[in-house]
Amino acid sequence: MIERPGVLDEIRRALKRIQVVALVGPRQSGKTTLARQLVPSESLNYFDLEDPASLARLDEPMTALAGLRGVVVIDEVQRRPDLFPVLRVLADRTPLPVRFLVLGSASPALLRQSSESLAGRLETITLSGFSLVEVGVGAQTRHWVRGGFPRAFLARSLADCHAWRKQFIQTFLERDLPQLGVTIPAPALLRFWTMLAHMHGQVWNAAEPARSIGVGESTVRRYLDLLTGLFLARQLPPWHENLGKRQVKAPKVYFRDSGMLHQLLGIRSEKELLAHPKCGASWEGYALEETLKAVRPDEAYFWATYQGAELDLLLFKRGRRLGVEFKRMDAPTLMPSMRIAMKDLRLEGLVVLHPGVASYPLGEHARVMPLAALAGETLDTLFPPRRTEGKQRGAPRSPQKRDRSKRLGEVSRRVRKENLRVNAEFAAIENDPDA
Backbone angles phi, psi at 421, to 5 degrees: -65, -50
pLDDT at 379: 67
* Cα distances (Å, whole numbers) of residue 396 to 388, 391, 399, 412: 16, 11, 9, 24
pLDDT tier at 363, thresholds 50, 70, 90: confident
pLDDT at 117: 82
Choose between 223 and 375: higher pLDDT.
223
pLDDT at 244: 83
Select from 257, 291, 320, 296 the least CA-distant residue to 130: 257
Residue span(s) of the chain under CATH 3.40.50.300 come to 5-126
What sign has the CA pseudo-torsion 133, 139, 142, 146?
Answer: negative
- The per-residue pLDDT for range 115-145, each reduced to its tens digit, is 688 888 999 999 999 999 999 989 999 999 9
Upstream peptide bond of 95 is cis (omega within 30 degrees of 0): yes
- Which of 107-116, 136-145, 356-365 shows the highest mean pLDDT? 136-145
Mean pLDDT of 330-355: 94
Superfamily of chain region 5-126: P-loop containing nucleotide triphosphate hydrolases (3.40.50.300)
Select from 426, 137, 422, 435 the least CA-distant residue to 271: 426
- The per-residue pLDDT for range 394-410, each reduced to its tens digit, is 445 555 555 655 665 56
What torsion, rounded to 10 degrees, do the Cα atoms 14, 20, 21, 27 define?
A: 170
As a whole number, the mean pLDDT across the chain is 89
pLDDT at 221: 97
- Looking at the DSSP assignment, which residues form a beta bridge with residue 193? none
Q: Is 9 exposed, middle or buried, given 0-12, 13-18 or 19+ CB atoms closer than 10 A? A: exposed
Residues 380 and 5: their CA atoms lie apart, in Å, by 23
pLDDT at 9: 96
pLDDT at 254: 99
String of DSSP letters for 261-315: HHHHHT--SHHHHHTSTTHHHHHHHHHHHHHHHHH--SEEEEEEBTTS-EEEEEE
- The per-residue pLDDT for range 85-107, each reduced to its tens digit, is 999 999 999 889 999 999 998 66
State yes or no: pLDDT of 55 exceeds 70. Answer: yes
Q: Give the distance from CA 292 to its chain's centroid.
A: 7
* Identity of the amino acid at 111: L
Task: Decide the pairing of beta strands 98-104 and 70-75.
Answer: parallel
Percent with pLDDT over 90 in the chain: 74
- The per-residue pLDDT for range 176-216, each reduced to its tens digit, is 999 888 889 999 999 999 999 999 999 999 999 999 999 99
Choose between 67 and 404: higher pLDDT.
67
Residues 323 and 150: their CA atoms lie apart, in Å, by 30
Residues 11 and 290: their CA atoms lie apart, in Å, by 20
Backbone angles phi, psi at 424, to 5 degrees: -65, -45
pLDDT at 243: 86
